[in-house]
Amino acid sequence: MDSVPAGWLLQNRTSIHSLCIYEAMSLESLPPSIRDLSDLKELYLHRAGKHLSLPDLPSSLKELCIRGCHSELEKKFSECGSPEWNKISHLRRVEIGNSYFIMGKKCSMETCRKLR
């Protein structure tokens, strides 16, 4: 998969609560329209090898998990204060590679996973 169909996202913007993208090694980006998913609570991005950044995310998002993606993406999101970090620092629960955060504060895997 090279891209997520923006039209489909918009057609379903009020009914998508969780979006999981797995094994999309050729995916380069998510469409900017993802920010319009008004009920999206969880976003999981696993093994999206070419993905280097995220668009602005919906204000409804509570959880983000990024695993096995491009190392630069994981690095950008792990650096507190970076533009990418500012997109996710307010989220309730974040897992990026082997780093875990609750409301922008680093925590252990066990603590983070208890919030599920």
**Residue 17, pLDDT score:** 94
pLDDT tens per residue, range 79-93: 777 777 888 888 999
pTM given for the model: 0.85
**Residue 51, pLDDT score:** 63
Long-range contacts of range 47-50, CB-CB < 8 Å, 24 or more positions apart? 47/22, 47/23, 48/21, 48/24, 49/25, 50/25, 50/26
Higher pLDDT, 113 or 103: 103
**Is pLDDT of 67 > 80?**
yes
pLDDT tens per residue, range 13-53: 889 999 998 888 877 778 888 899 999 999 998 887 676 67
